[in-house]
Amino acid sequence: MSLITWKEEFSVGVAEVDFEHRELIELINSLHDSARPGASRDAVIESLGEIFAQIASHFALEEKMMRASLYTSFLEHKQDHETLLDDLRDIMDEVEDDGAYDEIQLATDLERWFGDHFRTHDAKLHQEHN
């Protein structure tokens, strides 16, 4: 069962970006599938680390593009990126400390973040670039 499902409202209209966003959702769903009761804490931490690394890499590329184009909403967009990365770090710390994570909270946070961030920040960024 998926933790988060791709929705057309997540699309920013740029095929490469939408592809990367779908890949991120697939990684998150893989974590969800592997983090069942009895799952290895190390495996969950490793999956979270992969998600964090891929998201951070994606954000770095977006931010490079924003700086190069003198994007007017750069600071606001970057702050939203930092908020998500901080949230993921908190989840990673929780798993390391407690051996579990709150999947309902994670699903709620990701659904909000993907829906809001893709639809607002990313869509605006890619509209200005086209």
Give yes or no for residue 126 having a pLDDT over 70. no
How buried is 130 (Cβ within 10 angstroms: 0-12 exposed, 13-18 middle, 19+ buried)?
Answer: exposed
Question: pLDDT tens digits, residue range 21-78?
Answer: 888 888 878 877 776 666 677 777 888 888 889 889 888 888 888 888 898 889 998 9
DSSP structure class, residue 122:
I
The Cα-based distances of 9 to 12, 90, 105, 118 in angstroms read 8, 27, 21, 8
Q: Which CATH class is domain 11-129?
A: mainly alpha
Q: How far apart are CA 104 and CA 47, in angstroms?
A: 17
The Cα-based distances of 85 to 12, 51, 59, 95, 128 in angstroms read 21, 10, 10, 15, 25
pLDDT for the residue 32 = 73
CA dihedral over 25, 12, 18, 70, signed as positive or negative: negative
Q: How far apart are CA 102 and CA 119, in angstroms?
A: 25
Q: How far apart are CA 46 and CA 61, in angstroms?
A: 23
Residue with token string 């893709």: 118
- Could you tell me which of 37, 32, 7, 34 has the C-alpha nearest to residue 22? 7
Q: Tell me the residue ranges of DSSP E strands in 23-117.
A: none
Identify residue 105 by its one-letter amino acid code. Answer: Q
12-16, 100-104, 119-123, range with greatest mean pLDDT: 12-16
What's the pTM value of the predicted model, to 2 decimals? 0.77
Question: pLDDT tens digits, residue range 69-106?
Answer: 898 889 998 998 999 899 889 888 888 887 766 666 76
pLDDT for the residue 25 = 84
